[in-house]
Structure 1
Amino acid sequence: MFEPEKFIEEIEPQVKSIVGNNRVVAAVSGGVDSTTAAALMYRILGDRVIPVMLDTGFLREDEAESVRLMLRDIMPLKVVDMSQKFLSSLEGLKDAEEKRKKFRDLFYTAISEIIKTHESKFLVQGTIAADWIETQGGIKTQHNVLVQLGINTEQTWGFSLVEPLADLYKNEVRELARYLGLPKEISERQPFPGPGLLVRCVGALTREKLKITRKSNKVVESLLEPLKPSQYFAAVFESNFGIDQRLSEILGDEIHVYETKATGVKGDVRSYGKMASFSLRNDYKEIREVSRKITSGDFTRALMRVWKGEGNYTVAIRAVNTEDFMTADILELDTSVLTKIAERLAMIPGVGEVVYDVTTKPPATIEFE
């Protein structure tokens, strides 16, 4: 059983022996992991910790300011706007791994300059166990996993990493956040990936798609928040698809196969494969069986079509429950709830289809990229 007080007693001398009397910069993304790591270090080292949030252009709507205000009584968060640099550098990139690795290089190059400005040589970040396990397992490259991949941060960027949460899982991080007195909006906050909305703009990044992704996430979060899933969001990709005749015959339904691919996990390794959708159904026993049949082959995602219109983009609703984020089950949303969400999403210019991702982890990852 995880005991936050005992954990802090054990980690404090380790941190002090590593850092000494130096200043440290703590990278805060707005998610529970990075914010908890920064708050923990602030408790141990006080104002020698400089909490910094990079606005990469991939944050949720009003994210930076809302997080800064939430933390104002706990630690002084500095927000640095790098959005134009990130957007111009990543625009047009299509491959999920290429996007993640490019984001990683941009992020750490920018953060290294901030570290130098503050005459520091240490970076605190909220890497947790699930991050490095997935990266080392070849499922996907988490942008904040460096040392575990053999990357020498001192040689590459001029700083040493401090990762106080590296052995913890998400449920333990939340316990620690509560113990540290972080507001409920942080401790119970659903996870938000380091690259942010970049990995929810599935496939090639465009500014139009990013705008739709930001608006779609706001709608999905506002409508699903009362149900308290472990994670819930929207991902967006082009609505270009063909018909899979073989699967259509097997399942007695018109199965759409999209040109855009998504990340999954099969046999404990990454599987970058196709997505397929089927028509709306009510019975989740039947829905799960259809999903299982679709993902038994080359497909990483089974999506249930909720609404179809005329726009160029598909919005995929994702809602899962999980304890440790290594595995996850879908939330069995009633069709009336899905229809209500779809009606709101349909009001966003450019949205032409709404689907519900009914794939468990595995064979899908929680995020689409």
Structure 2
Amino acid sequence: MFSPEKFIEEIEPQIRSVVGDNRVVAAVSGGVDSTTAAALMYRILGDKVTPVMIDTGFLRENEANRVKDLLKSVMPLKIVDRSERFISSIEGLEDAEEKRKKFRDVFYSTISEIVAQENSRFLVQGTIAPDWIETQGGIKTQHNVLVQLGINTEKTWGFSLVEPLADLYKNEVRELARYLGLPREISERQPFPGPGLLVRCVGRLSKEKLEITRKSNAIVEDLLEPLRPSQYFAAVFESNSSLDTKLSELLHDQIMVYSVKSTGVKGDVRTYGKMASFSLRDNYTQIREISQKITSGEYTRALMRVRTTKGKYTVAIRAVSTEDFMTADIVEIDPSLLSRIADELLRIPGVGEVVYDVTTKPPATIEFE
């Protein structure tokens, strides 16, 4: 059974032996992993640690200021705005892996400059076990997995990595966060990926799509928060689709296939395929059966159409329950609530369709990219 107190007792001498008297920069994304890693280091090393949050342009609405305010009683957080740099570097890219790797390059080039400015040579980040397991398994490249891929950070970017949570799973990180006195809004916060809204802006990145993703996430988070799913958000992609005649006949429904691709996992191997949608149902036993039939073939995800009108973009609602984030089940949201969320989302200019992602992990990953 995990004991936060015992964990700190064991990790503290290891950290002190590695860091010595040097200054340390701790990268904070706003998610529970990176924030807990920074708080742990601050507990052990005090003001030798500079917690830094980079505004990449892919944060949620008012994210940086909100996190800084939440942490003011725990540790001082420095905000560095590099949003234009990130967005201009990635805008126009389409492939999920290419986007993740470009984000990684820009992120670590930026953090390298900050580490140098702070007269440090150590970077702390919140890598946890599922991050490197999924990366080494080829499911998807987590932007914060470096050493496990053989990347020499000292040679490439001029700093050494400290990853105090690398052997922990999400439930253990939350226990540690509570023990460290982090506010509930952080310790119980749903995960937020390092690349942020970039991985929810599916396919080609544009500023228009990014802003729709930001607004959609705010609506979905607000309306699903009372249900307390493990993770819940919105993803956005172009609505371009065509009819799969064969599957439509088999399932006695209109099965639409989108041109954009998303990430999935089958047999512990990454898949990168198209998504298919079917008509709104209220019976989740039937919904699960349809989802399984769609994803048993070539498709990565099964999406249930909640509302369809005219518009350039589709917003996909995602809500899952999980213990360790290695597997995840869908949340059985009442169709009336889905309809209410869809009504709000369709008020965003450019949104013409709302779907609910009803794919478990596996065969889909939790995030779309």
TM category (shorter chain) comes to over 0.9
For 1:321 and 1:310, locate their aligned partners in 2 and report how far apart those are by CA, in whole Å.
32
For 1:309 and 1:256, locate their aligned partners in 2 and report how far apart those are by CA, in whole Å.
14
Q: Which amino acid aligns with 1:325?
A: F
Q: Deviations over 1:163-199 (max 9, x none)?
A: 0000000000000000000000000000000000000
For 2:269 and 2:151, locate their aligned partners in 1 and report how far apart those are by CA, in whole Å.
21
Tell me, yes or no, if structure 1 residue 68 matches structure 2 residue 72.
Answer: no
Equivalent in the alignment of 1:265: 265
Equivalent in the alignment of 1:331: 331
Tell me, yes or no, if structure 1 residue 38 matches structure 2 residue 3.
Answer: no
For 1:53 and 1:283, locate their aligned partners in 2 and report how far apart those are by CA, in whole Å.
43
Q: Which amino acid aligns with 1:36?
A: T
SS of the equivalent of 2:40 reads: helix
For 2:80 and 2:280, locate their aligned partners in 1 and report how far apart those are by CA, in whole Å.
44
Q: Which amino acid aligns with 1:185?
A: E
- Note the aligned Cα RMSD (angstroms): 0.3
Equivalent in the alignment of 1:290: 290
Equivalent in the alignment of 1:252: 252
Equivalent in the alignment of 2:224: 224
For 2:244 and 2:224, locate their aligned partners in 1 and report how far apart those are by CA, in whole Å.
32
Shift of 1:334: 0.7
Equivalent in the alignment of 2:240: 240
Q: Which amino acid aligns with 1:196?
A: G
For 1:269 and 1:138, locate their aligned partners in 2 and report how far apart those are by CA, in whole Å.
6
Q: Deviations over 1:146-165 (max 9, x none)?
A: 00000000000000000000
Q: Deviations over 1:329-360 (max 9, x none)?
A: 00001100100100110111100000000000
Gaps of 5+ in 1: none
SS of the equivalent of 2:300 reads: strand
Shift of 1:309: 1.2
Q: Deviations over 1:37-69 (max 9, x none)?
A: 000000000000000000000000000000000
Shift of 1:313: 0.2
SS of the equivalent of 1:88 reads: helix
For 1:310 and 1:252, locate their aligned partners in 2 and report how far apart those are by CA, in whole Å.
24
For 2:15 and 2:288, locate their aligned partners in 1 and report how far apart those are by CA, in whole Å.
46
Equivalent in the alignment of 2:4: 4
SS of the equivalent of 1:299 reads: coil
Percent of aligned pairs with the same amino acid = 78
For 2:97 and 2:257, locate their aligned partners in 1 and report how far apart those are by CA, in whole Å.
22
For 1:13 and 1:105, locate their aligned partners in 2 and report how far apart those are by CA, in whole Å.
31
Shift of 1:32: 0.2
Equivalent in the alignment of 2:124: 124
Equivalent in the alignment of 1:54: 54
For 1:83 and 1:116, locate their aligned partners in 2 and report how far apart those are by CA, in whole Å.
20
Equivalent in the alignment of 2:194: 194
For 2:208 and 2:202, locate their aligned partners in 1 and report how far apart those are by CA, in whole Å.
13
Q: Which amino acid aligns with 2:171?
A: N
Q: Deviations over 1:261-309 (max 9, x none)?
A: 0000011010001100000001100000000000001111000000011
Equivalent in the alignment of 2:23: 23
Equivalent in the alignment of 2:183: 183
Equivalent in the alignment of 1:135: 135
Q: Which amino acid aligns with 1:168?
A: L
For 1:9 and 1:346, locate their aligned partners in 2 and report how far apart those are by CA, in whole Å.
51
For 1:19 and 1:309, locate their aligned partners in 2 and report how far apart those are by CA, in whole Å.
57
For 1:269 and 1:101, locate their aligned partners in 2 and report how far apart those are by CA, in whole Å.
19
Q: Deviations over 1:220-279 (max 9, x none)?
A: 000000100000000000000000000000000000000000000011010001100000
Gaps of 5+ in 2: none
For 2:307 and 2:237, locate their aligned partners in 1 and report how far apart those are by CA, in whole Å.
15
Equivalenced residue count is 369
Equivalent in the alignment of 1:346: 346
Shift of 1:311: 1.0
For 1:71 and 1:147, locate their aligned partners in 2 and report how far apart those are by CA, in whole Å.
29
Equivalent in the alignment of 2:158: 158
Q: Which amino acid aligns with 2:122?
A: F
Shift of 1:80: 0.2
For 1:193 and 1:270, locate their aligned partners in 2 and report how far apart those are by CA, in whole Å.
18
Equivalent in the alignment of 1:104: 104
For 1:356 and 1:362, locate their aligned partners in 2 and report how far apart those are by CA, in whole Å.
17
SS of the equivalent of 1:246 reads: helix
SS of the equivalent of 1:103 reads: helix
For 1:298 and 1:44, locate their aligned partners in 2 and report how far apart those are by CA, in whole Å.
50
SS of the equivalent of 2:92 reads: coil
Tell me, yes or no, if structure 1 residue 214 matches structure 2 residue 214.
Answer: yes
Equivalent in the alignment of 2:167: 167
For 1:159 and 1:84, locate their aligned partners in 2 and report how far apart those are by CA, in whole Å.
24
Q: Which amino acid aligns with 1:286?
A: Q
TM-score w.r.t. the length of structure 2 is 1.00
